[in-house]
Amino acid sequence: MDHTLVNNLKKIKNEVILKKKDCEVIAVSKTFDIEKIKPLIDHGHRHFGENKVQEAIDKWTDIKIEVNDIKLHMIGKLQSNKVKHAVKIFDYIHSLDSIKLAKKIHEEQIKIQKKLKIFIQVNLENEEQKNGINPLGLDELYNFSTKNLDLDIIGLMCIPPISLKPKDAFNTMRDLNNKIGFKDLSIGMSSDYLEAIDLDATFIRIGSKIFGERD
């Protein structure tokens, strides 16, 4: 058993405890095979993140039947043509960014009678290379998704823009989150999760700090 991964996870969880915050660690397991991930599952960790639908299906279909309380988070861009499969395998989506995508999620959820927990991804500086909705369109997307489609929108998510310090981006996200009245906030990755926890993150998405650098 690879104790390194478990020790890495414990260290991060202890940092959360020391800050006296209620924050869930999502172990971002994209590109790693299930044998690499299994020590964390055996240790009792349950929240894992993937950014590709097909990879998630290949890796997690059997293990989620075997360990039925695993929570799988879609943290990458979700394309409309992959929603059908994403709704089946994932429990959380962190990347809702359009009414078109919201409608598709709604349709597929009804078909299989499943309701995912969903974050709206915000693109704070409208960077072309990043996904997410312009903050000016946030209220419209939230209101349409909840009132017209009955989606379970639980909070906001962002990847800090290059032009802002992570702390400043997280501050803005916390303000946007509070304005709508959300309890949950998905901010913070391996390089900036401590700042994210200080600014009320309830989910942090940690890859390299747990698994090491990817090839």
Can you give the CATH number for the domain in which 38 is found? 3.20.20.10
Q: Assign 214 a pLDDT band (cuts: 50, 70, 90).
A: confident
User: Between residues 100 and 129, which one has the greater pLDDT?
Assistant: 100
The mean pLDDT of 11-38, rounded to a whole number, is 95
pLDDT given at position 215: 67
pLDDT digits (tens, 9 = 90+) for 52-95: 999 999 999 999 999 999 999 999 999 999 999 999 999 999 99
CA 212 – CA 207 distance, rounded (Å): 7
Q: Report residue 204 as tokens.
A: 């942090």
Domains: count for the chain: 1
CA 172 to chain CA centroid, Å, is 18
Arithmetic mean of pLDDT over the chain: 96
Instruction: Provide the pairing of β-strand 47-50 with 71-74.
Output: parallel
pTM: 0.96
Where in the sequence is the domain holding 177, given as residue range(s)? 3-211
pLDDT given at position 2: 60
Q: Report residue 88 as tokens.
A: 């089946």
Torsion of CA 184, 53, 48, 174, to 10 degrees: -20
Long-range contacts, 43-50 (Cβ 8 Å, 24+): 43/6, 43/9, 45/9, 46/70, 46/71, 47/71, 47/73, 47/203, 48/72, 48/73, 49/73, 49/74, 49/75, 49/94, 49/205, 49/207, 50/74, 50/75, 50/76, 50/90
pLDDT given at position 128: 86
Residue with tokens 């009792």: 44
pLDDT given at position 126: 87
Q: Which of 104-108, 128-132, 198-202 has the lowest mean pLDDT?
A: 128-132
pLDDT given at position 23: 97
